[in-house]
Chain A
């Protein structure tokens, strides 16, 4: 019997341990990351790329000891899809979510899931914003404002002066701008460059497609949300397909690791540059400092990108989040972001501020980037970007990549049919 008892005790011990383990697994490990503990607030902010917040975060935390800011950068499409999931799930969204203009219509349609910033007193900023920028996050009835604009993506063309020189092309930014008033001329310049240097001129067809599309009055969708492939997208696709056919493209998938190493190794000489691209170039290839310069974009003007900061309703620290967003859009911070990563503020008054007007970027051969990008931003007529703009763009970009590398190689006619097909699929899916 002794044996049986010790056996029983052992069994009980094992059972207890396994129960504890079950409890540990199902229990709320880590206390659920409660951000309110001891008056301490952690603000989680989701974005992609570089919003220039690293130093500002420290500054804000110093001024507000009860606030911790957690920066979560991710992939562009993934961050937006993630936000959509969390909105539907009803939990898990960050306190502050950055939203790009390419996805803004989709989220504006779910305005009830965001904090109405007008209730928080954001209305006082309306006059300060570019009118179209303000309207992009405002519901059509004008009653709900879901986000405050951070930057706009006025377009220019970045180019490598050292590579241009080696290929016998002029290097001064005005001379370079004069080289390519139109995209046709741009392709000719590219052909000269490749003939002389034996290297590729542009990074990827998609990075021609996007700026050209940004210059069209109508993009993928008209305001009734109908897919309009024959308008702007066709024009942009043709230009992009022609640069690929002329063998100007290094065929690097934009934002891939190989693309990034292309910056370092000088695999391409020009790159369509919305203001925010400056930060990306600087972060990716710090070694090319001083070798870049900024010229006008063929076809003139246009917009590509530009973001907003939104506050999902489900967040636990809505008030603190708004305080931080409000602080971020103040001129002082906006100017600092511009200087650091090049994101151009969406408040036109700042364009007259000497800090921006007279700012020259040493990385870009002291180009007066403040003036260049302000000018494009002020003269910009923005496009309506439909609800399915994001996925549609990915679908068409993929067809362009296939035209450059895959089974569609060298078949622009077929590629266009395919692009229409894929875009329609993306619009429906």
Chain B
């Protein structure tokens, strides 16, 4: 832009005279339409160009968020149109005494920890393996991304079969190890088993994706750093923790924040893991009902939209808090200065 904004200058020596004439001939008159166009271009076109995003965001992002805030302060029940009006903070107050909400919150955190921690650690290890000299490197790199491009509904339905009580591959594999031969594990019946099953689905999908992010960051680390470390006698493990992780810290923080947001909003996997997904219960005792699922249930099955909106605001605040804490902790762990 700066070049166009500069006033036309006198022709530099050595420039073709023809070009000069042409320039001079089209020189905008002060106050003429050309100048106005020119100004418009310089001043407003950039805004015009970025407008579509902000328009779309305002319509499909901002408006729903604001409207959700309004709904959270109201009574609104779809099955009883007479129950409407301002509720003030009642919906939020109800949250604090709702066992279902705290159960869902605990489940969400449990599954979140079971998925995020191993997921990022394994992604780091996979990435550092891919970062070495390998045969068929592209093949492996593409292969690691395959789970990510699988639709989550499809993979969940498959895992749902894998973790079936009577016919599942998971139980079959465990029985080879002599576990649960007489009484196969009913993955859906207890908290711990259902959490593991769901965390497995999440891990499977996202390890490759995160690994590729890490890999991209690792490519920028100079080889001689490793060579120097190797000369000093550092093994691969030590190199990973002392060199690689600190040097790709921004990406690590990025993935931590991203998986925090994703993990706390977990919905599809727990939903489809249910024997009867349409109920949104997350097991017959809500063993694995996540907050997102509970919001769905309260809003669209109990048709209590006001309360569901309050819950989603609570979830938003929780995510904000956890993401901030995580970012700070990762920052410290990576050995970074704040």
Contacts and interface: CB of A to CB of B under 8 A. Distances in A.
A8 B41 contact: yes
B181 interface: no
B273 to A, nearest CB: 11
B227 interface: no
A121 interface: no
B301 A81 contact: yes
Interface centre among A4, A15, A391 (most CB of B within 10 A): A4
Given A253-B275, A398-B285, A19 B23 contact: no
Interface stretch (B47-55, B105-113, B196-204): B47-55
A277 to B, nearest CB: 17
B38 A85 contact: no
Nearest to B77: A88
B228 to A, nearest CB: 48
Given A75-B278, A406-B189, A258 B166 contact: yes
A73 to B, nearest CB: 12
B49 A8 contact: no
Contacts of B59: 26
Contacts of B190: 406-407
A25 B161 CA distance: 37
A8 B302 contact: no
A11 B45 CA distance: 7
9 closest cross-chain pairs (CB), A and B? A256-B275, A78-B278, A398-B284, A253-B275, A75-B278, A405-B189, A401-B284, A88-B78, A18-B52
Nearest to B277: A75
Interface of A: 1-4, 7-8, 11, 14-15, 18-19, 21-22, 25-26, 74-75, 77-78, 81, 84-85, 88-89, 106, 251, 253, 255-259, 261, 267, 391, 394, 397-399, 401-402, 405-407, 429
B4 A407 contact: no
A398 B279 CA distance: 11
B167 interface: yes
Given A3-B4, A26-B59, 17 more contacts: A1-B8, A1-B27, A3-B3, A7-B41, A15-B45, A75-B277, A77-B279, A81-B303, A89-B78, A258-B275, A261-B167, A394-B279, A405-B186, A405-B188, A406-B283, A406-B284, A407-B285
B120 to A, nearest CB: 32
Contacts of A25: 56
Interface string B8-40: 100000000000001100111000000001100
Contacts of B55: 22
B284 A1 contact: no
A8 B37 contact: yes
A85 to B, nearest CB: 6
Nearest to B79: A84
B165 interface: yes
A51 B56 CA distance: 43
Nearest to A403: B284
A402 B281 CA distance: 13
A74 B37 CA distance: 58
A261 B164 CA distance: 11
15 contacts: A1-B28, A4-B38, A7-B41, A11-B41, A11-B49, A18-B49, A19-B52, A21-B52, A75-B276, A253-B276, A255-B276, A258-B164, A258-B275, A398-B281, A405-B188
